[in-house]
Amino acid sequence: MLVIKDLAVKFPSRFGDFTAIEDVDMVIRPGEIHGLVGESGAGKSTVGAAVIGLLSSPGYIAGGEISLGDTDLRTLTPSEAHAVRGDRISMIFQDPQTSLNPLMTIEDQLIETIQAHSDVTHAEALKRAVDLLEEIGIKDAAKRIKAYPHQFSGGMRQRVVIALAICTDPELIIADEPTTALDVAVQSQVLDLIKRLARDRDIAFMLITHDIGVIAQVADRVTVMRHGKVMESGETRQVLGAPEHPYTRALMDAVPPLDRRIDRFRVPEEAPIAGDGPTGNLAEDWLLEGQRSDLLGLKLTDLTVTFAAPRTSIFRKPDPYVALDNVSLTVRPGTIMGLVGESGSGKSTLAKAITGLVSPASGEMRLGDAELPYGKTRSRYHPSRQLIQMVFQDPYSSLNSRHRIGDILEEPLWFYGFVTERAERRRLAAAMLELVGMAPDAIDKYPHQFSGGQRQRIAVARALLARPRFLICDEPTSALDVSIQAEILNLLKDLQSTFGLTILFISHNLAVVRQMADDTAVLRAGRIEEVSSTENLYENPQADYTRSLLSLTPVMPKDWVARGS
């Protein structure tokens, strides 16, 4: 049983000690899965690192108690701590790509770990390793154990990581975002495995995640953290269904539900958006005046994109890799088309084909009445370069970190020749910042001075300053915390209805797409599985694949919600 009392962790810095977490209390019983949720910077991972004794230097435990069973983890000598680590406490990391050694076979890694913690012969260790792999659901384990990590898929690799974690029969496993890098189908298998291990082997799990759905699905108890402090703790059903703390309530409000559509998310401090003050109006008027053309739709017919595969023979050209296979899709003018699919399904390739970053092999793309030329044949002055704009996934890489916000925002204005006068451009850029809910004085700052959500707002402002008629949002919120995600989704909805944009909204998150899209298309391995109106697709899925996606997405059971909303 893990008991944490009044735990505080500090990081000394030049400007005095920074308190990462304080007053953290937690009890995890054997066989219990204890969820630890919170947004980035909440200190979730710091709790885990403090327990396992791997706080990154120069952090240190400033106070409190951590004990596992009757062992006080804080008083251990380094060598004793080393023995406890792995033997009684194990850890599962987020990325199975990097937590296995790529140069060692699975067999070697498992046997090494087993022999490090118990005095057994090689043959015995091997037998235990094979049994373990069988237990966690790897078929034909005696043979597969000879393989290297790269010969396993992502989900299989995460299973191997779990096997490594349990091969010493630990009492406690700390799982830090164990399924964040995985697709929903694989995620649900890994979650099932964690659940089974907790039940069968009586292992206590500390499950660190930002995903409320995952918590709802597997955790027995949950602790909500924010800014290094515990906000609320209790049984999962009670905390998520009837939260008591205002922060938990706000957090739950921001989580997009899969089973219904809500028009606007309730966000704690409703940011003033659109038409607030004279300068915001300036940007709004300017955008409305730009609506010379009517609403624009997009029609893709039999679009196929292939990539050259690596050459395996000098005599024969390799068969190309087909990223998109005869994709036909119609985005109706003035609507939002949602595009969902797992990683590698070709979502981003589709966006790149439309924007001209990738040349299709065949097929036709039409924006309104005009045909879109393929990638490199599209001239730099083609009108679509202005009409189609994109909001990217990663707000940390989509803004040039060496340019001021003002320069970034003014670029489309002079580039497309909208405003020739410099002072006027600046005024409009500042007004646009206000329109997307930011202070106009941001114009003189650099991107690194803003948070992820603020940067995404800036990215939206840049897209709007091109006066687009068609906006592609490629996973615009997947790098953001849920409360920020709710704000950005609200903003996009407002802008879409005010300025009559047509939007292609790409996401792997089905719940988010349900909130945003009028129509939804499901993409799988480069093929469209199903297209339909969003309501219809979620309520009455036709394709088996859509059905399995919907059923595997972790959500909170409906009957948990105690309040009438």
**Given 390, 431, 512, 521, the residue binding other proteins (CB under 8 A):** 390
- Least spacing, CB of residue 43 vs other proteins, in Å: 22
Binding track over 428-457 against other proteins, x by CB under 8 A: ------------------x-----------
Torsion of CA 502, 505, 510, 514, to 10 degrees: -20
Taken in order 468, 471, 472, 477, the sign of the CA dihedral is positive
- Least spacing, CB of residue 270 vs other proteins, in Å: 29
Residue placing its CB nearer to other proteins in the complex, 132 or 463: 463
Residue placing its CB nearer to other proteins in the complex, 379 or 497: 379
Binding track over 8-27 against other proteins, x by CB under 8 A: ------x-------------
Structure tokens at 128: 């235990």
- Which residue from 146, 134, 206, 510 is spatially nearest to 339, judged by alpha carbons? 510
Residue placing its CB nearer to other proteins in the complex, 381 or 564: 381
| Residue given tokens 């390739």 in the structure block | 349
- Least spacing, CB of residue 392 vs other proteins, in Å: 4
Binding track over 391-410 against other proteins, x by CB under 8 A: -xxx--xxxxxxx-------
CA 119 to chain centre: 42
The span from the CA of 338 to the CA of 505, in Å, is: 5
Residue placing its CB nearer to other proteins in the complex, 326 or 359: 359
Burial of residue 236 (CB within 10 Å: 0-12, 13-18, 19+) is: buried
Residue placing its CB nearer to other proteins in the complex, 386 or 534: 386
Pairing of strands 388-391, 470-474: parallel
**Span from 84-92, 179-187, 385-393, 544-552 in contact with other proteins (CB under 8 A):** 385-393
58 preceded by a cis bond (ω within 30 of 0): yes
**Given 5, 249, 299, 382, the residue binding other proteins (CB under 8 A):** 382
Specify whether the CB–CB gap between 60 and 247 falls below 8 A: no
- Least spacing, CB of residue 403 vs other proteins, in Å: 8
Specify whether the CB–CB gap between 58 and 12 falls below 8 A: yes
When asked if residue 381 is in the footprint of other proteins (CB under 8 A), the reply is yes
Specify whether the CB–CB gap between 517 and 340 falls below 8 A: no
Residue placing its CB nearer to other proteins in the complex, 165 or 479: 479
Binding track over 238-277 against other proteins, x by CB under 8 A: ----------------------------------------
**Strands lying side by side in the sheet with 172-176:** 89-92, 172-176, 204-209, 33-37, 221-226, 229-235
- Which residue from 292, 293, 289, 318 is spatially nearest to 306, judged by alpha carbons? 318
When asked if residue 45 is in the footprint of other proteins (CB under 8 A), the reply is no
Site for other proteins in 463-492 (CB under 8 A): 466
Residue placing its CB nearer to other proteins in the complex, 291 or 400: 400
Site for other proteins in 93-152 (CB under 8 A): none
**Span from 26-34, 43-51, 131-139, 376-384 in contact with other proteins (CB under 8 A):** 376-384
**Span from 59-67, 228-236, 355-363, 497-505 in contact with other proteins (CB under 8 A):** 355-363
β-pair partners for 362 = 304
CA 16 to chain centre: 33
The span from the CA of 429 to the CA of 425, in Å, is: 6
Structure tokens at 165: 């974690």
**Given 8, 267, 357, 552, the residue binding other proteins (CB under 8 A):** 357
- Least spacing, CB of residue 528 vs other proteins, in Å: 24
The span from the CA of 435 to the CA of 275, in Å, is: 7
Residue placing its CB nearer to other proteins in the complex, 266 or 385: 385
Each residue of 467-476: b (16+ CB within 10 Å) or e?
bbbbbbbbbb
When asked if residue 379 is in the footprint of other proteins (CB under 8 A), the reply is yes
The span from the CA of 349 to the CA of 355, in Å, is: 10
**Given 143, 316, 380, 563, the residue binding other proteins (CB under 8 A):** 380
- Least spacing, CB of residue 14 vs other proteins, in Å: 7
β-pair partners for 65 = 5
Torsion of CA 64, 42, 47, 190, to 10 degrees: 150
- Least spacing, CB of residue 398 vs other proteins, in Å: 4
Residue placing its CB nearer to other proteins in the complex, 16 or 278: 16
- Which residue from 198, 194, 209 is spatially nearest to 171, judged by alpha carbons? 198
**Given 355, 507, 509, 532, the residue binding other proteins (CB under 8 A):** 355
**Total residues in contact with other proteins, by rule CB under 8 A:** 27
The span from the CA of 548 to the CA of 552, in Å, is: 6
- Which residue from 394, 398, 401 is spatially nearest to 479, judged by alpha carbons? 394
Site for other proteins in 300-319 (CB under 8 A): none
Site for other proteins in 410-429 (CB under 8 A): 411-412, 415
In 3-state terms, what secondary structure has residue 192? helix
Q: Which residues bind other proteins (CB under 8 A)?
A: 14, 355-357, 379-382, 385, 388, 390, 392-394, 397-403, 411-412, 415, 446, 462, 466
